[in-house]
Amino acid sequence: MPDTGAMLPVQVSGLSYHAGGRTLIDQIDLEIASKGITVIMGPNGAGKSLLLRLLHGLLPPTSGSIRWDGQPASDAHRRRQAMVFQRPVLLRRSVAANIEFALDLHGNQDPARRDTVLSAVDLLDYAAQPARRLSGGEQQRLALARALATDPEVLFLDEPTANLDPAATAVIEAAVGRIRDAGTKAVFVTHDIGQARRLADDIVFMHRGRICETGYAVTFFDTPRTSEAQQFLQGELVL
Amino acid sequence: MQEFVAAFAEAFNLIVAGDGDLLEIVGLSLRVSLTAVGISCVIGFPLGAVIGIGDFRGRQCIIVCVNALMGLPPVVVGLVAYLILSNSGPLGWLDLLYSPTAMIIAQTILVAPIVTALSRQIVEDFHAEYAELFRSLSVPHRTAVTTLLMDAKHSLATVALAGFGRAIAEVGAVIIVGGNIDHLTRVMTTAIALETSKGNLALALALGMILIVLSLAVNATVSLLREASGQPADA
């Protein structure tokens, strides 16, 4: 089990990101808890995926800071995180070789570890198959397995089920649930209210690059405080 | 017309009979061009990859230069190689002029920019797709280069093929630094030029037919390799 106490919680202070003359993330202050699944939700264009990329260090913020357990974000922190993208990016190799690539980067060449993570997402029987010949759901499971291979302390998931059917979505959600139970912190982006209800321990609700509301999932879904969140949960258009 | 048909028939006979001179010329052509393409790939693939994913000052200038070098006229390359390798040139002491090695050097100068420029474009396209994954996994630069080259291997095989097509078909560079010496530096293209000027159309035609068949065979081989590996170009 990863020692999440080592780099969490993450504290975000005055975080902004500007591009093309527009403010896409606007002065965000946020603290993400050490345990469980934090779901970042909101309508399209709210800045959810962008916030995830900033947290993971894929993009440098225009201003503001991200601190992991009080320390400024660094490459060392990123090596203890992993990310699953909305559209899985797989190497043009076999399923097993995709896992081995991530393992090699962390100095682990143990085939047992490779088989363990493939088993965790029910892909062990496909180990020798070309990764890009898998179905969309299988590809996303492989991307998840590759992320898990590095034994991350924090796992970022950017709408990993956005293009999947319900069966494939259920497999991914079950895997994420097991990851949470194993002690890994998960930060999950979705605009699917049902999925957020199923997975979230706590919620970050965004709209137009700002955080409107944060809190425990049960509280958020029962008594949303902001009009944007209320509209969103009622299925109304949030403009 | 009758003369043309007779020349064709004689050319066919030369090929079927396995004429010694013909085989020698074909053999040397393949040795020179394949070696030049091999050296060009060793230089061009990693260089193209480094330029393709690099983020350094002057990168755009280098890309423009490499792209421009793709269109180098073979006779100019031959002339430059001649000046370098001639007795009064900086590498004259190597005594390589009018040797197959000189021809390999000239063809490498011709092909390496093609391999570098095309590899750069391919690797850059692959990197656009992999960049976020690499950043997420903190992939070191050297590992990124080797990974991109490995994953782009089918596309790079096509690049090598383009280089081979350029090398095997050019005449200007090899005739200047090789001299078209019988049994020493005579390759298919220089022999075709010579035999045509002498009126020996049969040998010229035979060599021309072999040149075309070789081109088809190399293309077919790459396609077969791709199919055998079970991966189309975009897989």
Q: What is the ipTM of this complex?
A: 0.88
Are residues A75 and A157 located together in one domain of the fold?
A: yes
Residue A217's domain comprises 1-80+153-239
Query: What tokens appear for A155 in the block?
Result: 């796992």
Given a contact cutoff of 8 angstroms between Cβ atoms, the answer to whether B25 and B100 are in contact is no
Are residues A13 and A129 located together in one domain of the fold?
A: no
For an interface test with A, which of B126, B132, B136, B139 has the most A Cβ atoms less than 10 Å from its Cβ?
B136
Are residues A163 and A97 located together in one domain of the fold?
A: no
Given a contact cutoff of 8 angstroms between Cβ atoms, the answer to whether A88 and A139 are in contact is yes
Question: Could you tell me the pLDDT band of residue A6, with boundaries at 50, 70 and 90?
Answer: low
Residue A77 has pLDDT above 60, yes or no: yes
User: Among residues of chain A, what percentage have pLDDT more than 70?
Assistant: 97
Q: How far is CA B235 from the centre of its chain?
A: 26
CA distance A73 to A201: 24
- Domain-terminating residue out of A151, A167, A200: A151
Given a contact cutoff of 8 angstroms between Cβ atoms, the answer to whether A157 and A188 are in contact is yes
Q: What is the value of pTM for the model shown?
A: 0.84
Query: What tokens appear for B52 in the block?
Result: 């393709």
pLDDT tens digits, one per residue of B27-79 = 999 999 999 999 999 999 999 999 999 989 999 999 999 999 999 999 999 99
Inter-chain CB proximity B136 and A91 less than 8 Å: no
Query: What tokens appear for B99 in the block?
Result: 């040797």
pLDDT of residue A4: 46
- Which residues in chain B are contacts of A81 at CB distance < 8 A? 136
Q: Which residue has the tokens 């965004």?
A: A206
- Domain-terminating residue out of A151, A182, A204: A151
pLDDT tens digits, one per residue of A98-147 = 999 999 998 887 889 999 999 999 999 999 999 999 999 999 999 999 99
Per-domain residue ranges of chain B: 2-14+25-226
Exposure string (b/e) for B203-228, b if CB count within 10 Å is 16 or more? bbbbbbebbeebeeebeeebeeebee
Query: What tokens appear for A6 in the block?
Result: 């080592």
CA distance B161 to B117: 14
CATH superfamily of B2-14+25-226: MetI-like (1.10.3720.10)
pLDDT of residue B1: 66
pLDDT of residue B234: 42
Our CA-based measurement puts residue B139 at a distance from the nearest CA of chain A, in whole angstroms, of 7
CA distance B149 to A66: 35
Amino acid at the residue B220: A
CA distance A27 to B80: 61
Are residues A184 and A67 located together in one domain of the fold?
A: yes
Inter-chain CB proximity A133 and B235 less than 8 Å: yes
Say which range, A155-164, A214-223, B211-220, has the weakest mean pLDDT. Answer: B211-220
pLDDT tens digits, one per residue of A51-63 = 999 999 999 999 9
CA distance A176 to A156: 11
Inter-chain CB proximity A58 and B132 less than 8 Å: yes
Residue A190 has pLDDT above 60, yes or no: yes
Our CA-based measurement puts residue A79 at a distance from the nearest CA of chain B, in whole angstroms, of 6
Our CA-based measurement puts residue A211 at a distance from the nearest CA of chain B, in whole angstroms, of 25
Q: DSSP assignment of A39-106, as one string?
A: EEE-STTSSHHHHHHHHHTSS--SEEEEEETTEEP-HHHHTTEEEE-SS----SSBHHHHHHHHHHHT
Are residues A160 and A237 located together in one domain of the fold?
A: yes
pLDDT of residue B19: 85
Given a contact cutoff of 8 angstroms between Cβ atoms, the answer to whether A202 and A186 are in contact is no
Are residues A180 and A68 located together in one domain of the fold?
A: yes
- Segments in chain B below pLDDT 50: 232-235
Residue A2 has pLDDT above 50, yes or no: no
What is the total count of domains within chain A? 2
- Domain-terminating residue out of A107, A125, A151: A151
Q: Is A162 exposed, middle or buried (0-12, 13-18, 19+ CB in 10 A)?
A: middle
Question: For the domain that residue A211 is a member of, what is the CATH number?
Answer: 3.40.50.300
Are residues A71 and A158 located together in one domain of the fold?
A: yes
Edge-to-edge strand ranges of the sheet holding A185-190: A81-84, A154-158, A185-190, A37-41, A202-207, A210-216
Q: DSSP assignment of B57-84, as one string?
A: TTHHHHHHHHHHHTT--HHHHHHHHHHH
pLDDT of residue B229: 58
Are residues A141 and A182 located together in one domain of the fold?
A: no
Cis peptide bond N-terminal to B90, omega within 30: no
pLDDT of residue A109: 79
Given a contact cutoff of 8 angstroms between Cβ atoms, the answer to whether B170 and B81 are in contact is no
Average pLDDT, chain A: 91
Are residues A69 and A157 located together in one domain of the fold?
A: yes
Question: Could you tell me the pLDDT band of residue A156, with boundaries at 50, 70 and 90?
Answer: very high
- Within 10 angstroms of residue A172's Cβ, the number of other Cβ atoms is 21
Query: What tokens appear for A164 in the block?
Result: 């999947």
